[in-house]
């Protein structure tokens, strides 16, 4: 996969079409080369007709007026969940964004589904330019099945052993001996947060067994108990989820940051809102001192759960949803994230093979396996700059061996399908981000024309590496904000590298005693 994504870095800018030109994505297929056997005319006619249908179903909803309508309906969904929901629009304990002038050295922990990272981070102030945030030392530890199978305290003891390993490094050991290191934790699993530095452990999913016998216990205490057993001179000061970390990491350098987007295998957003936008019940039991200080709060939207009965779907989307282990649970994620883009393309191509004679009607065996067509593979189709799409063919053959090599014409058919799916994802994402931007402005009592500049801190493989995806989404956002009465580039998508690590450190530096 790494080689695939490196190839994507050379993606063609020509595929980043403006929303107003989406309707112009029409079949533009090459003439057969001398060495290339063209499909029979009957097969080509069937494929032409099929591609026209796919084009209509995927591009018709993407008129700017339609996207603006979806945004309005999403805002209504958001408002309902801001008043009552225990699974989305969840207020964190982070009510203070960084000023960018905080300084210090912090230990940042990032626990994800497949890796545990420990880093010593130095914050030097945003006036230090490129050196404002610096990773002094970072170690990455793989979380394999053996680690996921660790039950209860054993998992946290393993974490403490890895922290000890990092602190024993000559570059860090002296510092750790001199002072207690403040720790920030980015935890990519559900918790019931009870303070900025504590939260009750919930089911982690993804095969982890750490919560066995410990469910409901305080996560911060569990980690600190394991660290104290090894006499580690550390202190847990902050916990954040990945979307909040992405917002905080960019906000340290750019005070206009008010939104964060994760778009990789899955998707999520965080937004900085006035506390008045949420019902009092949403905050649960918190100290009165927190309510007295908090004017705003970082909200984990659980963005993936929205969009049902708002964003138009196709029969392939509906089949994917029906066959999913949790149908209707994450409708937005099914339409835009890396886990599902390749699967939507696979379903379309499988039907094309069976009904429109793509590949002469021969179904590659691997095509029958759900989720076998990775989003990385369809990304290669969009980035391939060779006349015969030789790079795309090599990627396809590596994962889905074909008994007969497809023609260049058939490869171009596939590329068009990939474009339709990814362009729709970019447009739907823009509608969702526009909805959050509008919601935030309204909550602040601002007219959209006076809402000012907003930076969206972005992280994730799709938004970062999929060919032209971020540029295309930005162009849709520009059209939507202009139609809303604001200026072009009122909302800007910017990448935030190492956001989980930096965000954990920034959360610790923004420590509030409530």
Sign of the dihedral through C-alpha 68, 70, 71, 75: positive
**245-263 confidence digits (pLDDT tens):** 999 999 999 999 999 999 9
pTM exceeding 0.75: yes
**Token pair for 94:** 């982070």
Question: What was the pLDDT predicted at 214?
Answer: 95
> Cβ distance 370 to 339 under 8 Å?
no
Q: Using alpha carbons only, how large is the chain's radius of gyration in Å?
A: 24
User: What φ, ψ does residue 341 adopt, rounded to 5°?
Assistant: -60, -45
> Cβ distance 186 to 242 under 8 Å?
yes
> Cβ distance 432 to 307 under 8 Å?
yes
**438-465 confidence digits (pLDDT tens):** 999 999 999 999 999 999 999 999 999 9
Burial-class residue 501 by CB neighbours within 10 Å (0-12, 13-18, 19+).
buried
Look up residue 40 and give its DSSP letter: P
CB atoms within 10 A of CB 359: 22
Question: What was the pLDDT predicted at 29?
Answer: 53
Question: What was the pLDDT predicted at 25?
Answer: 42
Sorted by where each starts, the structural domains of the chain and their CATH numbers stand as: 96-254+498-508 (3.30.420.40)
CB atoms within 10 A of CB 127: 8
**DSSP letters spanning 361-385:** GPPPGGGGSTT-S-HHHHHHHHH--
Question: What was the pLDDT predicted at 172?
Answer: 84
Question: What was the pLDDT predicted at 403?
Answer: 84
> Cβ distance 363 to 354 under 8 Å?
yes
- Residues in the chain predicted with pLDDT less than 70, given as ranges, are 1-36, 512-514
Q: In sequence order, which ranges of 310-369 are alpha helices (DSSP H)?
A: 315-323, 331-336, 338-355
**Token pair for 81:** 């969940």
**Token pair for 66:** 């339609």
> Cβ distance 397 to 380 under 8 Å?
no
Look up residue 253 and give its DSSP letter: T
> In 3-state terms, what secondary structure has residue 458?
strand
Q: Which of 419, 411, 413 is nearest to 395 (CA)?
A: 411
Antiparallel, parallel or unpaired: β 491-495 and 115-123 = unpaired
Edge to edge, the sheet with strand 181-187 lists 133-142, 115-123, 104-111, 181-187, 234-240
> Cβ distance 272 to 258 under 8 Å?
yes
Antiparallel, parallel or unpaired: β 234-240 and 267-274 = unpaired
């Amino acid at each position: 996969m790494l080689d695939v994504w490196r190839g994507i870095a050379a993606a063609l800018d020509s595929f980043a079409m403006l929303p107003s030109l989406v309707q112009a994505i029409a079949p533009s297929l090459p003439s057969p080369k001398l060495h290339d056997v063209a499909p029979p005319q009957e097969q080509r006619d069937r494929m032409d007709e099929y591609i026209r249908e796919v084009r209509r179903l995927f591009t018709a909803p993407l008129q700017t007026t339609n996207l603006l309508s979806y945004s309005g309906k999403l805002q209504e969904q958001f408002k309902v969940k801001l008043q009552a929901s225990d699974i989305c629009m969840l207020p964190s304990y982070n009510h203070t964004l960084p000023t960018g002038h905080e300084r210090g050295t912090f230990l940042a922990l990032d626990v994800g589904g497949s890796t545990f990272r420990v880093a010593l981070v130095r914050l030097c102030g945003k006036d230090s330019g490129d050196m404002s945030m610096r990773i002094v030392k970072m170690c990455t530890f793989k979380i394999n099945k053996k680690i996921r199978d660790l039950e209860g305290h054993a998992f946290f003891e393993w974490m403490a052993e890895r922290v000890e390993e990092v602190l024993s490094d000559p570059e860090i050991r002296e510092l750790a001996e001199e002072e207690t290191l403040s720790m920030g934790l980015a935890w990519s699993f559900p918790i019931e947060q009870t303070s900025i530095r504590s939260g009750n452990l919930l089911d982690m999913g993804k095969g982890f067994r750490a919560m066995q016998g410990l469910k409901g216990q305080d996560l911060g205490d569990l980690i600190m108990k394991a660290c104290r057993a090894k006499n580690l001179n550390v202190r847990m000061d902050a916990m954040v989820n990945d979307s909040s970390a992405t917002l905080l990491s960019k906000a340290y350098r750019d005070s206009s940051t008010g939104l964060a987007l994760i778009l990789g295998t899955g998707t999520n957003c965080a937004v900085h809102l006035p506390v008045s936008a949420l019902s009092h019940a949403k905050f649960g039991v918190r100290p009165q001192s927190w309510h007295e200080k908090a004017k705003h709060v970082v909200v984990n939207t659980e963005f993936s759960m929205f969009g049902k009965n708002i964003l138009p779907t196709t029969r392939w989307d509906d089949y994917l949803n029906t066959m999913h282990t949790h149908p209707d649970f994450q409708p937005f994620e099914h339409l835009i994230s890396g886990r599902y883009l390749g699967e939507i393309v696979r379903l379309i191509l499988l039907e094309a093979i069976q009904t429109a004679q793509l590949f002469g009607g021969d179904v590659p065996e691997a095509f029958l396996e759900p989720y076998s067509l990775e989003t990385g593979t369809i990304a290669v189709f969009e980035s391939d700059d060779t006349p015969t799409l030789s790079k795309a063919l090599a990627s396809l053959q590596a994962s889905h061996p074909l008994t007969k090599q497809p023609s260049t014409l058939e490869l171009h058919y596939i590329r068009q399908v990939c474009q339709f799916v990814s362009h729709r994802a970019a447009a739907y994402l823009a509608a969702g981000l526009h909805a959050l931007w509008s919601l935030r402005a309204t909550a602040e009592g601002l007219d959209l024309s006076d809402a000012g500049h907003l930076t969206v801190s972005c992280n994730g493989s799709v938004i970062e590496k999929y060919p032209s995806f971020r540029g295309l989404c930005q162009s849709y956002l520009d059209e939507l904000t202009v139609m809303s009465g604001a200026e072009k580039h009122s909302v800007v998508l910017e990448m935030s590298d190492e956001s989980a690590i930096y965000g954990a450190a920034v959360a610790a530096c923004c420590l509030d005693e409530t």
